Structure 1
Amino acid sequence: MKKSLVAVGVIVALGVAWTGAAWFTGKQLEQRIEDAVSEANRQIKATAPDAGLTLEYANYQRHVFSSRLQIIAKPDTGAQSSWLKPGQSVVLDETVDHGPFPFAQLKKFTLIPSMASVHTQLAQNETTKALFEMAKGQSLINIDTRVGYSGATSSDIALRPLEYSKGKDKMAFSGGNFTANVDSKGNHLTLKGEADSGLVSMPNEYGQQVLVTFNGLKTDGETEVSAFQERTGSQKLSLEKLSLAVEGKEMAQLQGLKINAQSAPDADGKHLNGEINYTLDSLRMQNQDMGQGALTLKVSKLDGAAAHQFSQRYNDSLQALKAQPGITDDPQLYQEKAIDAFFTNLPLLLKGEPVVTVAPLSWKNSKGEGSLTLSLFLKEPAARNPGSAIKSLDGKLTIPLAMATELMTQVAKIEGYQQDEANKLASQQVKGIAAMGQMFRLTTVENDAISTSLQYSGGMATLNGQQLPLEQLLGIFGLTPPDNDAQPEEAPEPPFLSPQP
């Protein structure tokens, strides 16, 4: 009996202690909500200025073991454009179980003390009504987040399957599961997850039914805010298959697409280095094997402070551009203005004399592999002379004749030629291209491969071993020399590049 009373006493004591701790952590959470929302708004403006959104919280109700509130995303009244229209809003319903041992965690047998466990789901309103219809009346997104006492969070994110069909427009999504971890300051983020499949089917501008499908989407990465207020880190994205069909006929299929990107501050703490790798295991077009490819692109010695300044100014330019009446109604004009804004601010990126490297861009089929390598050393251009941004260049291109012939054979078969005719046509085309390149001395043929070598530095270029001034090199391609002085309308043709008799 005494033991039973002791046991009951201990349970009651633990229950009282837990209740008090839950009430206390509930008060802590209430005090931190406003700061958390303010930090989220700061992050939105820093990382997604085009969103034009602001967050706020409402309807907070605190109880002993749990609390409820809503997080509301609305158009930012100070933004020049927004992802949401005036009057629209996206509302998230939040159910907060207080710590130190939230009930939601105990259900999953997680015994790590936490300030809170939060369940988040989308609320239905006029803005999100269509999403609920596609998800059969359920919230598209459900998030379960553990909030540590430091403020760090760990979230399990579930996307529900979607289905939509109206007339000839169809969409389906298998749903997906992701995990995200964020530190207490919101500076370090990891994201990992996958989605099985999806499809979109709709008519194109010619009335043909176009179907796009994907399978096996996976992502895994982490980012961190650098000293320059830019996000650095690594990100992996892979796709097992992507298919495009028109009127029920498969036009293209990509298999084994992988993207691996990473960026990090240099050892000196002043510059940024970045690298992105693309690989494609297979490309088939109208059931013809076109081969496989890879690209490695590197950027090094990018001035971190200048890159951040460029990002801010370029985004400000785009925001100002979108605010111009009618500009978004003319996509071509908007694109031209956006390109102008990019090149206007580009000199900022060149302050640290960055280096751009392609090592390599390659394409491979059953007959061989062609490749392009390029190293481009840049510098801040002189005033009124943007063409002086190139410090030096070194590029090499190699295309095996057999590989090129095989590729052109597949293209000819797509165009309707039979195998023998396709082989003959492809052989003629490749031989013609090789002869044309040799005639103008733009390429050479060595070891059964078309090759080109180009180097440039200090105003002089070397093309396939032949030295020539920059003006002549640009003249080959119909370009004018990079200075602002008056230039003749057409650069004279270099004598050594005259067609051979």
Structure 2
Amino acid sequence: MKKKLLLAGILLVVGGTYTIASWQVGNQIEAGIDTNLKNVLAKIRAEYPDSHVYAELSDYQKGIFSSTVRLKVEFADYNDMNFDDIIKIHHGPFPLYSFTEGDFYPKLAVITYDLDKKYNEDLWEMAGNKPFINLSLTRYFDNTNKIVLKNAAIHKSEGSESIDLSANKMIINYDSTTGSLQTNLSINNFTLIKNNKKIELKDLSLISDSKQNSDNMKIVGKLVLNLGSLSISDDEYEVEKTFKINGLSINQDSLQNNNNISSNSSLLIDSIYFNKQNLGKFKANMDLGFVYDFNNTSEYTLKTNQLSFETMHGSLEADINMKMKTDNLFKNPFSFGSFNNYEFLQTRIELPYNALFSIIARCQNSEKTTISQEDIDQATYQTIPFISMMTARTPFIVIKNDENDFSKNVISSSIYYSPRENKLEINGKSYDPLEFGF
């Protein structure tokens, strides 16, 4: 009997302490929430003076373990982004909402919102008559924050058209003290069938991580994107054509120092299919540079370390090396395409006959799983007249002949252009840039 009374007493003390703590945290939130919103608005207006955003809180209803408040946000230039709805605030240090998510770490509060039916009735119905979007923002005592965005699975089918989307999640972790930002996104499946066309995406994941140093002037970032497969099908002409990529991966490392951004990016596509034919594998690696000044001249650099399409019969390869300067890109976006803005532009393309003609043969025989030498010969016979016509009409393309093996001939092109030097070289020969409109 005494043990039961002791246990009941302990539970009563714990429960009372939890209730008081939740109430006190609720008082802190109520006292500071309006000030925090004003601070955020002030920061937005200082950094983006043309944003014209307005926000206010009203109808604050405080409870012991949670509170509700109406949040109204208006964008003067984007009315379709306006928001006016009730959000819920779950009080720390141990919000009941977090327990349901399996999170027992102490925190100041969790703010949650479920997309209301009034914003999109179709999405509400496709999600099974429940919110399509669930958003939660967790504020920890150490100034770290976590945003979790979830979508419900949806399905809708009308006649020959349908849409399917799996339940997915995006998590953003942000440390307001160190400036570190981490993002994790995963999408298991998305399928859309409309107008005799089908798009299907499977197993997409994206992870990004950036860290900012103490003086807020240097940012180091990393991005990794992986995609299981992406296919696009079209049976508009009664014969279905499908283009599919498998095993896509993108890796990017970047560094921002003041207004200077540099990055290295690599891309790999493990296989590219056209119907039943595996056309090959694509690889790319490049260095990018960007020195920006939104009011004056900005500078861009690009250098490819690898740009290749690998087939079973050889590789198609290309290189690009360039540097250009433009005026205010936002006020004059067309300046990006002007040849006069290049400091220099250097390109190289190498297309071996055996690799190129095998790709053409596979596209022409896409309903077969393999191709024969006869198929490649047919593709060669059909394509050679076009190549001969192009080489006869323009100096940009030349043929590097192999005296012993015709299939090892290479379609080649190399260009060097520099307005500063008033120099244009095409396949090793000098030309007047004005002759080609440079």
TM tier, smaller: 0.7 to 0.9
Distance 1:202 1:42, change over 3 A: farther
Distance 1:60 1:150, change over 3 A: farther
Q: 1:16 offset after TM fit, Å?
A: 4.4
Counterpart amino acid of residue 258 in structure 1: S
Partner of 1:493: none
Q: Which moved more, 1:38-47 or 1:154-163?
A: 38-47
2:379 equivalent to 1:426: yes
Cα separation, 2, equivalents of 1:367 and 1:43: 58
2:362 equivalent among 410, 419, 422: 410
2:168 equivalent to 1:176: yes
Q: 1:419 offset after TM fit, Å?
A: 5.6
Cα separation, 2, equivalents of 1:101 and 1:294: 49
2:278 equivalent to 1:289: yes
2:437 equivalent to 1:480: yes
Cα separation, 1, equivalents of 2:50 and 2:265: 24
Asked whether the equivalents of residues 297 and 356 of structure 1 are also in contact (C-alpha less than 8 Å), the reply is yes
Distance 1:270 1:49, change over 3 A: closer
Distance 1:41 1:456, change over 3 A: same
Partner of 1:455: 416
Q: Is the partner of 1:245 in helix, strand or coil?
A: strand
Q: 1:132 offset after TM fit, Å?
A: 0.8
Q: 1:355 offset after TM fit, Å?
A: 1.6
Asked whether the equivalents of residues 58 and 71 of structure 2 are also in contact (C-alpha less than 8 Å), the reply is yes
C-alpha distance after superposition, 1:266-300 (max 9, x if no partner): 4xx44111344332222222323222213334321
Alignment of 1:49-448 (within 5 A): 55-74=55-74, 76=75, 78-79=76-77, 81-84=78-81, 89=83, 91=85, 93-107=86-100, 110-125=103-118, 127-184=119-176, 188-203=180-195, 209-223=196-210, 233-247=221-235, 249-266=240-257, 269-300=258-289, 302-304=290-292, 306=293, 309=294, 348-350=297-299, 354-379=300-325, 387-414=339-366, 422-432=375-385, 435-436=388-389, 439=392, 441-442=395-396, 443-445=398-400, 448=408
Cα separation, 2, equivalents of 1:48 and 1:429: 58
Q: 1:216 offset after TM fit, Å?
A: 1.1
Cα separation, 1, equivalents of 2:80 and 2:298: 28
TM-score by length of 1: 0.70
C-alpha distance after superposition, 1:373-409 (max 9, x if no partner): 111022457xxx9543222232221112110110111
Counterpart amino acid of residue 305 in structure 2: A
Partner of 2:428: 465
Asked whether the equivalents of residues 101 and 111 of structure 1 are also in contact (C-alpha less than 8 Å), the reply is yes
Distance 1:264 1:45, change over 3 A: farther
User: What is the number of equivalent residue pairs in this alignment?
Assistant: 413
Distance 1:3 1:284, change over 3 A: closer
Cα separation, 2, equivalents of 1:3 and 1:221: 53
Gaps of 5+ in 2: 328-334, 403-407
Q: 1:94 offset after TM fit, Å?
A: 3.2
Identity %: 19
Cα separation, 2, equivalents of 1:188 and 1:273: 19
Q: 1:149 offset after TM fit, Å?
A: 2.0
C-alpha distance after superposition, 1:237-288 (max 9, x if no partner): 222112222338242222122233443214xx44111344332222222323
Cα separation, 2, equivalents of 1:202 and 1:357: 40
Q: 1:218 offset after TM fit, Å?
A: 1.2
Cα separation, 2, equivalents of 1:63 and 1:372: 65
Gaps of 5+ in 1: 204-208, 311-346, 482-501
Q: Is the partner of 1:405 in helix, strand or coil?
A: helix
Asked whether the equivalents of residues 434 and 445 of structure 1 are also in contact (C-alpha less than 8 Å), the reply is no
Taking only aligned residues, the RMSD between alpha carbons, in angstroms, comes to 3.8
Cα separation, 2, equivalents of 1:220 and 1:199: 22
Distance 1:58 1:362, change over 3 A: farther
Q: Is the partner of 2:297 in helix, strand or coil?
A: helix
Counterpart amino acid of residue 171 in structure 2: T
C-alpha distance after superposition, 1:125-168 (max 9, x if no partner): 1x222211111111112244432124422244332100123344
Cα separation, 1, equivalents of 2:79 and 2:178: 23
Counterpart amino acid of residue 405 in structure 1: F
Q: Is the partner of 1:68 in helix, strand or coil?
A: strand
Counterpart amino acid of residue 355 in structure 1: T
Asked whether the equivalents of residues 152 and 168 of structure 2 are also in contact (C-alpha less than 8 Å), the reply is yes
Q: Is the partner of 1:33 in helix, strand or coil?
A: helix
Asked whether the equivalents of residues 297 and 325 of structure 2 are also in contact (C-alpha less than 8 Å), the reply is no
Distance 1:229 1:56, change over 3 A: farther
Q: Greater strand share, 1 or 2?
A: 2
Counterpart amino acid of residue 317 in structure 2: S
Distance 1:170 1:89, change over 3 A: farther
Partner of 1:319: none
Counterpart amino acid of residue 100 in structure 1: P
Cα separation, 1, equivalents of 2:90 and 2:355: 63
Q: Greater helix share, 1 or 2?
A: 1
Q: Is the partner of 2:98 in helix, strand or coil?
A: helix
Partner of 1:26: 26
Cα separation, 1, equivalents of 2:265 and 2:41: 30
Partner of 1:489: none
